[in-house]
């Protein structure tokens, strides 16, 4: 049977990412911090410099050639994300600065307009702080109540408990598609359907899912979906909020400025149509343009191929790391993306990270911005290795050897 | 020995190692020898808030010098090792010398990234706090 390893030419892919070819502390870099941000292929870098070097201009209102070209490229990215998410309408794609920004947009615009004292918002134990704090701020302001779906020890959501939390008071459910700390893939379709049955709208935090899972917002039927380009081999400071058109139309803008208006007088301002009413000010034009190139890169490799290959890496790494005495994998959910969080008996995760770094291996250590989750799992933090399409089995072997070295040094 | 002489001595010790991993091993071994902190100083007030490991610092005026007690959580051995070096350099020195000390050994031994970056979790803050104690005691000699 043909495997993803056979289909994808990983060495050729690695050549697309010049950053990988470097020594760190005198050792060949192993980059396993992909859940924090993925590296960018040359084509994305060229798209950024191509814009600044060839047609840098402010978009939408310029009449001149450069402005026309920049506007076309900018809007082409919107279309690309519409395809990427299978959104029904182009204007359902709102450009943001990233996943967090998208969540804040919904909390500040939808939340302030439509939620009231006593209304309940459901999140989960797996959430990143960016899908906790915006809701806490809203709860504080409006008197809403935050409820949390618990997990089991493997890092799977307890759907039975979720059902118990749902009631006619539930107005909004906001859950992560894939846990950044553990890699758990949540059953978001089930979560969405049950929320809708209770009359609540649903936001999905897609920061970690978007590079691993083929997305279809119409099939999911989510009301909002927020993601970041920099986790998709694209630039930082650029993200997308998908929202259902009817909801977005009913929501007030929450940032005022240029671009988002139709007409301004000192007496009154009328707002622009979707999607522009949520895009105040000059946007991050270069990175929006380059994000399209990143999606094209993913398309070129085939998202299913990437997912299959990353799954092979996950299986290999799980097997390899499970053999290490004194290592405990944190998060063994039924379905996972290519993320392995682990702790070493008697060794602080910070020390693990420092020594692995000296061996040229970049992992993330700490609480991964999921302090409530770490508390639930009874750990102060973990070391996390997360894999992308350019990683290899040989690199996982180096990680395993590196962990043995850490243990030896700490003995 | 002055603060700077102690710093130079540490720099000489680290010069023996070419491989950064050997330096780290040395720090880990120093950490293992760090005397435990007296219970009375292990308080929330003495906790230095950092990013990743838990670290405490206590200070006591002894005559005209300041004695430091410090510790990190048991598993944070690199932090413990770095703490032991900071104590070696600054503890039992005159308050005004601590306050005005120029701490250069950390960068010279190639451990600057462990003390100044976020991942070091509190050690830059610990150094700042030690110097603050020096200032306080220098200003209030009684």
pLDDT tens figures, A98-144: 999 999 999 999 999 999 999 999 999 999 999 999 999 999 999 99
Residue written as token pair 């996390």: A384
Lowest mean pLDDT among A343-352, A381-390, B69-78: B69-78
Query: How many beta-carbon pairs under 8 angstroms link A with B?
Result: 51
User: Nearest by CB to B78, which of A354, A359, A405?
Assistant: A354
Kindly tell me if the per-residue pLDDT of B5 is higher than 60.
yes
Residues of B in contact with A409 (CB under 8 A): 21, 24-25, 28
Nearest CA in chain A to B28: A410
**Residue A348 to residue B119, Cβ atoms within 8 A:** no
Q: Do B24 and A409 touch (CB under 8 A)?
A: yes
To the nearest whole angstrom, how far is the Cα of A180 from the nearest Cα of chain B? 18
The active-site residue out of B51, B64, B107, B119 is: B51
A-chain CB neighbours of B20 within 8 Å are 25, 358
Q: How far apart are CA B87 and CA A286, in angstroms?
A: 50
Q: Residues of B with CB below 8 A from A410's CB?
A: 28, 77
More confident residue, A6 or B95: B95
Higher pLDDT, A261 or B84: B84
Q: What is residue B86's predicted lDDT score, i.e. its pLDDT?
A: 93
B21, B52, B53 ranked by CB distance to A358: nearest: B21
Rounded distance, CA A70 to CA A289, Å? 8
Q: Which of residues 303-362 of A touch B (CB under 8 A)?
A: 346-351, 353-355, 358-359
- pLDDT, tens digit, 9 for 90 and up, residues B40-49: 888 988 888 7
What are the residues whose beta carbons fall under 8 Å from the beta carbon of A120, sequence distance 6 or more?
A: A144, A145, A146, A147, A165, A167, A169, A170, A171
Pairwise CA distance, residues A103 & A134, whole Å: 7
Give Cα A410 distance to the centre of its chain: 35
Distance CA A407, CA A14 (A): 30
Q: Which residues of B touch A351 (CB under 8 A)?
A: 28, 75-79
pLDDT at B115 over 70: no
Contacts of B26 in chain A (CB under 8 A): none
Q: How many CA atoms lie within 13 A of A51 on its CB side?
A: 26
Of B52, B75, B114, the CB nearest to A365: B52
pLDDT at B33 over 80: yes
Q: What is the mean pLDDT of residues A55-84?
A: 95
Nearest CB neighbour to B28, from listed A349, A350, A409: A409
What residues of A are in contact with residue B121 (Cβ under 8 Å)?
350
For A254-288, write each residue's pLDDT tens digit: 999 888 888 898 988 899 899 999 999 999 999 99
Q: Looking at the predicted structure, is the pLDDT value of residue A248 above 60?
A: yes
Calculate how close chain A gets to B131, using CA atoms only, in Å: 25
Q: Of the candidates A135, A142, A94, which has an alpha carbon nearest to the alpha carbon of residue A249?
A: A94
Question: Starting at the edge strand that comes first in sequence, how are the strands of the sheet with A239-243 ordered?
Answer: A93-96, A239-243, A224-228, A201-205, A170-176, A120-124, A145-149
Q: Give the pLDDT band of residue B142 (cuts 50, 70, 90).
A: low
Q: Which pair of tokens denotes residue A74? A: 């900018």
Residue ranges of domains in chain A: 4-40+302-410, 46-299
Separation CA B90–CA B101 (nearest Å): 8
Q: Which of A346, A348, A405 sits opposite B53 (nearest CB)?
A: A348
CB contact under 8 A, B28 and A359: no
At residue B117, the pLDDT reads 53
What is the percentage of chain A residues whose pLDDT exceeds 70?
A: 100
**Domain span at B123:** 3-139
Q: Among all residues of chain A, which has the CA nearest to that of B115?
A: A354
Greatest Cα pair distance, chain A, in angstroms, is 73
pLDDT at residue B120, as a whole number: 47
**Is A354–B119 a contact, with Cβ atoms under 8 angstroms apart?**
yes
Backbone phi and psi for residue A348, each to the nearest 5 degrees, phi listed first = -70, 140
User: Can A369 be counted among the known catalytic residues?
Assistant: yes
Non-local (6+) Cβ contacts of A285 within 8 A are A51, A56, A58, A59, A70, A74
- SS percent in chain B: helix, strand, coil, step 5: 55, 15, 30
Distance CA B77, CA A139 (A): 41
Average pLDDT of the segment spanning B75-79 = 90
**pLDDT for residue A388:** 98
**Which residues on chain B are in Cβ contact (under 8 Å) with A354?**
24, 78, 114, 119
- The domain that holds B86 is classified in CATH as 3.90.1010.10
Read off the pLDDT band of B52 (50, 70, 90): low
**Beta carbons of A350 and B121 less than 8 Å apart:** yes
Q: Is the CB of A150 inside 8 Å of chain B's CB atoms?
A: no
pLDDT, mean of residues A89-102? 98
Put simply, the answer to whether B52 touches A347 (Cβ < 8 Å) is: no
As given in the structure block, the two tokens for residue B8 are 């130079």
State the average pLDDT for chain A.
Answer: 96
Cis ω for the linkage preceding A155 (within 30 of 0): no
CATH of domain A46-299: 3.40.640.10
Query: Into how many domains does chain B fold?
Result: 1
Q: Are A295 and A116 in contact (CB under 8 A)?
A: no
Look up residue B25 and give its two tokens.
């091993």
pTM greater than 0.90 (yes/no): yes
Residue B119 clears pLDDT 80, i.e. is over it: no
Instruction: Provide the 3-class DSSP secondary structure of residue A362.
Output: strand
| Interior angle at CA A216, CA A213 and CA A221, nearest 5 | 125
Average pLDDT over residues A161-172: 98
Domain at A4-40+302-410, CATH from 3.20.20.20, 1.10.357.10, 1.20.1090.10, 3.90.1150.10: 3.90.1150.10
Across the interface, whether the CB atoms of B28 and A351 are under 8 A apart is answered: yes
Nearest to B52 among A25, A359, A381 (CB): A381
List of residues 6+ apart from A264 with CB closer than 8 A? none
Q: Which strands form B55-62's sheet, in the order they lie side by side?
A: B47-48, B55-62, B65-72, B93-94
């Amino acid at each position: 049977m043909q495997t993803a390893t056979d289909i994808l030419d990983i060495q050729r892919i690695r050549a697309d990412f010049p950053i990988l070819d470097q020594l760190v502390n005198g050792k060949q870099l192993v980059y396993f911090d992909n859940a924090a941000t993925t590296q960018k292929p040359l084509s994305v870098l060229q798209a950024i410099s191509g814009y600044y070097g060839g047609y840098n201009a402010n978009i939408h209102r310029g009449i001149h050639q450069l402005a026309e070209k920049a506007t076309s490229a900018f809007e082409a990215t919107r279309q690309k994300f519409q395809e990427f998410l299978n959104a029904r309408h182009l204007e359902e794609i709102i450009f943001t600065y990233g996943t967090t920004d998208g969540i804040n947009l919904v909390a500040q615009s939808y939340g302030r307009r439509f939620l009231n004292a006593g209304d309940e918002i459901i999140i989960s134990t797996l959430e990143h702080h960016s899908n906790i704090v915006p809701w806490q701020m809203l709860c504080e302001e409006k008197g809403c109540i935050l409820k949390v779906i618990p997990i089991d020890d493997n890092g799977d959501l307890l759907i039975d408990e979720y059902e118990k939390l749902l009631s006619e008071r539930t107005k909004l459910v906001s859950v992560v598609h894939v846990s950044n700390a553990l890699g758990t893939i949540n059953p978001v379709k089930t979560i969405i359907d049950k929320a809708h049955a209770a009359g609540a709208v649903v936001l999905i935090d897609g920061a970690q899912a978007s590079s691993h899972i083929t997305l279809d917002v119409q099939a999911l039927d989510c009301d909002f979906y927020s993601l970041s380009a920099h986790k998709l081999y694209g630039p930082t400071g650029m993200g997308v909020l998908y929202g259902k058109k009817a909801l977005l139309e009913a929501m007030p803008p929450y940032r005022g400025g240029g671009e988002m208006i139709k007409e301004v007088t000192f007496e009154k301002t009328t707002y622009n149509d979707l999607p522009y009413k949520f895009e105040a000010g000059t946007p991050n034009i270069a990175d929006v343009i380059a994000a399209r190139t990143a999606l094209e890169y993913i398309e070129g490799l085939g998202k299913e191929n990437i997912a299959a290959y990353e799954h092979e890496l996950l299986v290999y790494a799980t097997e390899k790391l499970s053999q290490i005495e004194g290592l405990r994998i944190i998060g063994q959910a039924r379905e996972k993306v290519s993320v392995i969080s682990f702790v070493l008996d008697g060794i602080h995760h910070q020390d693990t990270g420092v020594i692995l770094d000296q061996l040229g291996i970049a992992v993330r250590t700490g609480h991964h911005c999921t302090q409530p989750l770490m508390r639930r799992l009874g750990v102060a933090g973990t070391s996390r290795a997360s894999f992308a399409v350019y990683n290899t089995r040989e690199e996982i072997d180096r990680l395993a050897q590196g962990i043995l070295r850490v243990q030896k040094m700490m003995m | 020995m002055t603060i700077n002489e102690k710093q130079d001595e540490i720099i000489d010790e680290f010069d023996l190692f070419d491989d950064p991993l050997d330096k780290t091993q040395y720090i880990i071994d120093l950490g293992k020898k760090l005397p435990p902190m007296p219970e009375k100083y292990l308080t929330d007030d003495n906790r230095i808030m950092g990013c990743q490991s838990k670290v405490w610092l206590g200070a006591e005026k002894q005559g005209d010098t300041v004695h430091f007690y410090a510790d990190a959580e048991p598993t944070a051995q690199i932090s413990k090792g770095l703490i032991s070096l900071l104590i070696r350099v600054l503890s039992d020195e005159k308050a005004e010398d601590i306050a005005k000390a120029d701490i250069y050994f950390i960068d010279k031994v190639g451990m600057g990234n462990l003390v100044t970056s976020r991942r070091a979790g509190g050690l830059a803050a610990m150094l700042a706090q030690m110097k603050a104690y020096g200032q306080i005691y220098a200003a209030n000699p009684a």
